[in-house]
Amino acid sequence: MRRTALVTGGTRGLGKAICISLQAAGHQVAAVYHKNTDAARTFAEASSIPVFRWDVADFEACRTGIAQVERELGPVDILVNNAGISSDTVLHRMTPEQWWRVINTNLGSMFNMSRNVVEGMRERGFGRIVNISSVNGQKGQFGQTNYAAAKAGILGFTKALALEGARKNVTVNAITPGYCDTDMVAAVPNEVMQAIIASIPIGRLGTPADIGRMVAFLADDDAGFITGATIAVNGGQYMA
Ligand code: CAA
């Protein structure tokens, strides 16, 4: 069935591929972006997917942004909480600003976005929420106490909300992508990157489409018996 999907961080990287996969599955898709207007414009022109601009770390911005999307496109049936940032450094050099910016964007956004769609999903008796965590939320990563904490937090959030939504046909799942070919991963120092690729049994980085396909699968009407799951898409790098 054709549903309406909203993807945060949807104009670049993993989010862009997620939007394309959901569109290919026949859904009406909208993408949220924050800062990179040029990338958003290019994406919107190439895909015909409408883009909306707000900061997912800001509850009020999410409330008014989602209301606008729903006025223009109808109720959100599928929410993909994908937007995320990193600010890597060892804890003994991390500033409070680095800590809170990553926590508020990557974990705070789970509340800010989900809170503003979940009541409608419950009333309509259908909802799919897919949260993008990370392999580093499962295994930890040197230089990422902030990011790993937020990504691990997403897993608990997912399981608790899955329990609350189950009776209303609102499923909530998390994907833990491994290292994929995105701008975020490209920023990792080359030496570190070589070691990381060597630690991936499949022997390559993931592609954004690898993640997009899994999101589209979980978002499908037929995936209704899958909820509260943590699904690894990481080339075998970490087997929880
Ligand atoms: N394990 C143990 N020790 C390590 C280490 C590791 N993984 N990485 C670095 N070190 C050690 C170094 O050997 C060095 O030790 P010495 O001083 O004794 O030589 C010390 O730590 C400092 O290392 P650096 O010089 O690299 O320190 P830095 O402050 O310049 O950089 C860093 C530290 C920012 C963490 C950098 O190493 C880095 O960027 N690492 C990559 C982090 C990473 O993987 N981020 C993932 C981004 S992608 C993403 O997040 C998407 C996703 O979900 C998968």
Tens of pLDDT, residues 132-143: 999 999 999 999
Report the percent of the chain where pLDDT is more than 90.
Answer: 99
Domain CATH for 76: 3.40.50.720
Tens digits of per-residue pLDDT, 173-209? 999 999 999 998 999 999 999 999 999 999 999 999 9
CA 28 to ligand 1 centroid distance, Å: 40
CA 89 to ligand 1 centroid distance, Å: 7
pLDDT for residue 178: 98
Question: Domain total for the chain?
Answer: 1
Please give the number of the atom of ligand 1 that sits closest to the Cα of 134: 53
Instruction: Please give the structure tokens belonging to residue 24.
Output: 């290919």
- Cα–Cα–Cα angle for 104, 107, 109, nearest 5°? 75
The answer as to whether 238 is a domain residue is no
Backbone angles phi, psi at 178, to 5 degrees: -85, -160
Task: State the Cα torsion 87-33-212-171 to the nearest 10°.
Answer: 90
How far is residue 112's CA from residue 3's CA, in Å, rounded to a whole number? 22
CA atoms within 13 A on the CB side of 52: 24
pLDDT for residue 132: 98
Within 6 A (CB) of ligand 1 lie: 86, 88-90, 134-136, 141-144, 147, 179, 184-185, 188-189, 192
- Model's pTM, two decimal places? 0.96
Crossing angle, helix 13-24 and helix 208-219, to 10 degrees?
Answer: 50
Please give the number of the atom of ligand 1 that sits closest to the Cα of 137: 53
- Average confidence (pLDDT) over 19-25: 98
pLDDT band at 237; cut points 50, 70, 90: very high
Contact (Cβ atoms closer than 8 angstroms) between residue 131 and residue 172? yes
Give the distance, in angstroms, between the CA of residue 103 and the centroid of all CA atoms in the same chain.
14
As a whole number, the mean pLDDT across the chain is 97
Please give the number of the atom of ligand 1 that sits closest to the Cα of 195: 7
The residue range of the domain holding 77 is 4-232
pLDDT band at 215; cut points 50, 70, 90: very high
CA 90 to ligand 1 centroid distance, Å: 8
- 34 closest CA partner among 12, 50, 3, 19: 12
Catalytic residue list contains 147: yes
**Ligand 1 atom 11 nearest Cα:** 142
pLDDT band at 147; cut points 50, 70, 90: very high
CA atoms within 13 A on the CB side of 32: 27
For 54, 131, 196, 224, the CA distances from 30, given in Å and listed in that order, are: 13, 16, 33, 22
**Ligand 1 atom 29 nearest Cα:** 89
The answer as to whether 237 is a domain residue is no
**Residue 169 falls in which region: left (phi positive, over 0), alpha (psi -120 to 50) or beta:** left
pLDDT for residue 41: 98
The answer as to whether 239 is a domain residue is no
How far is residue 57's CA from residue 40's CA, in Å, rounded to a whole number? 19
Bridge partners of 127, per DSSP, are 170
